[in-house]
A and B are shown apart, each in its own frame.
Chain A
Amino acid sequence: MSEFSPAFPRERSGTRWQTEVEVTHGIGLHARPSVAFTRLAKSFPCAIEVAVDGSADWLNGKSIVKIMGARIRRGTRLRIRAEGARAEEAIVALGELVRRNFDEDRKHGRPDGRPA
């Protein structure tokens, strides 16, 4: 199960996988990064939740309303957890998306990474 990013830090507890990343994007999770995040999350069958800065409040990672509502900014520690099919793959992919600054370096690409 470790064919993806073996180096990416993650923990397992039972069937649940969890990781933590710092949001380094200059702005945080505004509209476009939120779209990229939730679209990627929705591509996985497992349940995905996020929590912000040690909060015990876990939010549905597939809901853009919830993600936007969390006002995730630069410097925020974002915990991502997933449970169910392809949970490990999901948290690695999402964690990497955050680390890659939501692929916004590709300035004029689409937020979900599809070519413009």
Chain B
Amino acid sequence: MAAPMAGPRELRGKPASPGRALGPAFRAPAAAAPSLPAGGDARAALAAAVTLAIEELRVLAAGADAQSAGVLDFQIEMLLDEDMLEPALRRIARGEGAALAWAGAMDAHIATLVADSEAHDKDAFAESVEECSAGEDAFAENVEERAAGEDAFAENVEERAAGEDAFAENVEERGSGEDAFAARASDLADLKQRVLDALAGRARADFPEAAIYVGQDMPPSLFLAHDWSKGGGIALAAGSTVSHVAMLARARGVPMVIGLGPLAIPSGQPLLVDGSEGLVRLDPGEPVAEVLIPPAIPAAASVPPRAEPAVDAFRLSVNLNSLTDLDAVDPAAVDGVGLVRSEFLFLSPAEALSEERHVACYRRIVTRFAGRPVTLRLLDLGGDKALPGLIEGGPASLLGERGIRFLLAHPELARIQARAILRVAALGPVSVLLPMVTLPAEVTAMAKLFDEEAARLARLGVPVRRPPLGIMVEVPAAALTLDLFAEAAFFSVGTNDLMQYLSAAARDNPAVAPLNTGSETALFRLLAQISTAAHALGKPVSVCGDLAGDPEAVARLMALGFRDFSVAPSRLPALRALLRRPAMAEG
């Protein structure tokens, strides 16, 4: 960049994502990550979310017509009832996060209603369903019933005349009155979602568009919730070039500088972030037009359609972190999707706990890649990938309940995702990657879960296909024992995590980052072993970490026998050029 002018002050950090951005500073709240009351206080978080949900319902009810207000009042009363919260609070006492506890308790409640309705088959439910489905009968019987009372019939007629949908309402009421299963279940599902949204709403604190985010570090969920299409950048006091948020920033083309040290930049201060040079300039004094690099999604713009087919021996796939990435990639220019980081698709516990939301996301990906293979990785939550209320994350969880460990400990969540994937797998070639696998037993457990959900859906007549399950090779214990993973259909090496677990140096801790990057020799020795083991087993193996996006490293990987790479959209052109070189191809 140009030499600093007289006036402006410069702060030197490290480049984390190239490009330049100019904009007003947005100073992140002190705690860096706006989130729910940290760690311990899930009770308080849930109580606050319920209060918020009640307030919202009251506002809605105040402006609603009488009938809608009736429904809303019912929901308000349910939320006000301590008996409603009690099961969720019990789950929290057992250590669950607020959102998971609430969703789990509500699902159990809804399941009880359904079970009840089945148990009462001969009783009211059947009767009520019969009545509801056969409208005329219901009407007749209703009239009969009401005729018993002196003015009941007149009232009934009046009621029908009064509301345009009085009949439907009446049928609904009968359902409610006699057993209420359907109506109550849908009310509960509605309440479940509203409280989850409230939990998420408090967790999400977006900042103005085109602003420069200034803070200690940045949670990936905040990055993902923000609209970067208007520009903007990131300037962090700490941070790491290999953190998830840096990875996301590079993939999205958002300029980012890290390691700036203590920052005293007030909100509103004009800043220039130069992510290529690792500089931040205060009061840049340059006209915006001259400096501002069109934010764009360079990944998108810079991916030219493939002119010639890639050398057959190699497969080049793309990693997707978001549906924005999806729109930016030309499906015809790649061999498929090597890694969908599903945990980045859902910005709130409410979304992550919604099977339909999962289905909608996966369906879009599979449909867009019409026929090309799509590899969906199960939610890899933990570490710096938190969903407040569902999982708080934090450095401790890097060696704790992360990835498949968290999923197996919270099977409700895993089952939601499994069902969605089973459904979408019926539409195209989908395979599933299990994150953070350490032992073969974890694969067995997840395979069983998929089999159970597949059988359940099949019984309901839902079209499903059971996708092959592969594992991420990122825990050294698994990397060293691939021969024991007979149950895994394929392997995918996550070099970022493998490196951090090999070096025992957290990738987003600047103090030990040199140890992390310095452990490359160890990493390549292990990679050689992984390649040999995978080929001996005759199972496909790919590399999907950042290493696969680095042409120099890819040359070394190819020398070790790797032929299958999956990279961020922005790395596609470089990799494509490399893989087309005949010399390389022969190597």
Residues of A in contact with B (beta carbons under 8 Å apart): 24-32, 34-35, 38-39, 60, 63-66, 68, 71, 73-74, 105, 107-112, 116
Q: Pick the contact of A108 from B155, B162, B184 — CB < 8 Å?
A: B162
CA A90 to CA B162, docked complex, whole Å: 33
**Contact of A64 with B78 in the complex, beta carbons under 8 Å:** yes
* Cβ–Cβ < 8 Å partners of A38 in chain B: 77, 81
- Whether B310 is near chain A, meaning CB under 8 Å from some CB there, is no
Query: Which of B67, B71, B173 is packed against the most chain A CB atoms within 10 Å?
Result: B173
Are A109 and B74 in contact, with the CB atoms below 8 A? Answer: no
Give the contact stretch, choosing among B174-182, B300-308, B334-342, B475-483: B174-182
Check if A31 sits within 8 Å of B145, measured CB to CB: no
Tell me whether A71 and B152 are in contact in the complex, defined as CB-CB below 8 angstroms, given that A27-B173, A65-B84, A116-B66 are known contacts. Answer: no
On chain A, the residues within 8 Å of B69 by CB distance are 110, 116
Within 8 A of A (CB), among B168-197: 173-174, 176-180, 183-184, 187
**CB-CB < 8 A to A73: which residues of B?**
124, 177-178
Residues of A within 8 A of B84 (CB): 65
Shortest distance in angstroms between B236's beta carbon and chain A's nearest beta carbon? 47
**Chain B residue with the shortest CB-CB distance to A109:** B66
A27 partner, pick from B70, B149, B162, B174, beta carbons under 8 A: B174
Tell which of B78, B82, B179 touches A71, judged by Cβ atoms closer than 8 Å: B179
Q: How far is the CA of A112 from the CA of B81 in the complex (A)?
A: 16
With A27-B177, A71-B179 given, is the CB distance from A65 to B70 under 8 Å? no
* B74 interface neighbour in A27, A34, A60, A74, Cβ under 8 Å: A34
Cβ-based interface call for B56 (8 A):
no
Q: Verify if B283 is at the interface (C-beta below 8 Å from A).
A: no
B67 / chain A contacts, CB cutoff of 8 Å: 108
Interface string of B78-89 (1 = CB under 8 A from A): 101111100000
Contact among A30, A60, A108 for B173, CB-based, below 8 A: A30
Contacts of A35 in B (CB 8 A): 70, 73-74, 77
Q: Note all chain B residues with C-beta closer than 8 A to A34.
A: 74, 77
Which residues of B60-100 have CB atoms within 8 Å of chain A's CB atoms?
65-67, 69-71, 73-74, 77-78, 80-84
Given contacts A107-B158, A107-B159, A107-B162, 7 further A-B contacts (CB under 8 A): A31-B70, A31-B180, A68-B180, A71-B124, A71-B178, A73-B124, A116-B65
Task: Give CA–CA (A25, B81) in the complex, Å.
Answer: 24
Residue of A nearest to B71 (CB): A31
Partner of B180, one of A25, A30, A74, A112: A30
Tell me the total A-B contact number using a CB cutoff of 8 A.
89
A84 to B74, CA, bound (A): 27
Select from chain B the residue with minimum beta-carbon distance to A112.
Answer: B73
Interface size for B (C-beta < 8 A) is 36
CB distance from A25 to the nearest CB of B (A): 8
Q: Which 9 A-B pairs rank lowest in CB-CB distance, beginning with the nearest?
A: A27-B177, A30-B176, A30-B177, A116-B66, A65-B83, A31-B74, A64-B77, A108-B66, A28-B177
Q: From the candidates B80, B83, B159, name the one contacting A66 in the complex (CB within 8 A).
A: B83
Q: Is the CB–CB distance between A31 and B152 below 8 Å?
A: no
The residue in B65, B174, B176 that gathers the most chain A C-beta atoms within 10 A of its C-beta is B176
User: How far apart sit A64 and B268, CA to CA, in the bound complex (Å)?
Assistant: 50
Are B83 and A63 neighbours in the complex by a CB distance under 8 Å?
yes
Q: Kindly list chain A residues whose C-beta atoms are within 8 Å of the C-beta of B71.
A: 31
Query: Can you name the residue of chain A whose Cβ is closest to the Cβ of B109?
Result: A65
CB-based contact A110/B66 at 8 Å: yes
Pairs A–B under 8 Å by Cβ, sample size 10: A26-B149, A27-B174, A31-B71, A32-B173, A63-B82, A64-B77, A64-B81, A71-B124, A71-B180, A73-B178
Answer whether residue B363 sits at the interface, using C-beta atoms and an 8 A cutoff. no
A27 in contact with B66 (CB, 8 Å): no
List chain A residues, Cβ under 8 A from B159.
107
Find out whether the CB atom of B162 lies under 8 angstroms from the CB atom of A32. Answer: no
Residues of A within 8 A of B65 (CB): 116
Partner of B81, one of A30, A31, A63: A63
Report Cα–Cα, A50/B80, bound state, in Å.
Answer: 19
Complex Cα–Cα for A15 and B70 (A): 35
Task: Kindly report which residue of chain B lies nearest to residue A60, judged by CB atoms.
Answer: B83
Question: Hey, which chain B residues are within 8 Å of A109, CB to CB?
Answer: 66
User: Does B146 interact with chain A (Cβ within 8 Å)?
Assistant: yes
Query: Chain A residues with Cβ under 8 A from B183's Cβ?
Result: 31
Q: How far is the CA of A41 from the CA of B222 in the complex (A)?
A: 44
Query: If the complex has contacts A35-B73, A71-B124, are A26 and B145 also in contact, measured as CB distance less than 8 A?
Result: yes
A residues near B78, Cβ cutoff 8 Å: 64-65
Q: Shortest Cβ distance from B140 into chain A, in angstroms? A: 14
Min Cβ gap B176→A in Å is 4
Q: Is the CB of B176 within 8 A of A31?
A: yes
In whole Å, how far is B76's beta carbon from the nearest beta carbon of chain A?
A: 8
Cβ-defined contact, A29 with B66, below 8 A: no
Q: How far is the CA of A34 from the CA of B163 in the complex (A)?
A: 22
Evaluate contact between A110 and B180: CB separation under 8 angstroms.
no
Task: Find out whether the CB atom of A24 lies under 8 angstroms from the CB atom of B149.
Answer: yes
Q: Is the CB of A32 within 8 A of B74?
A: yes
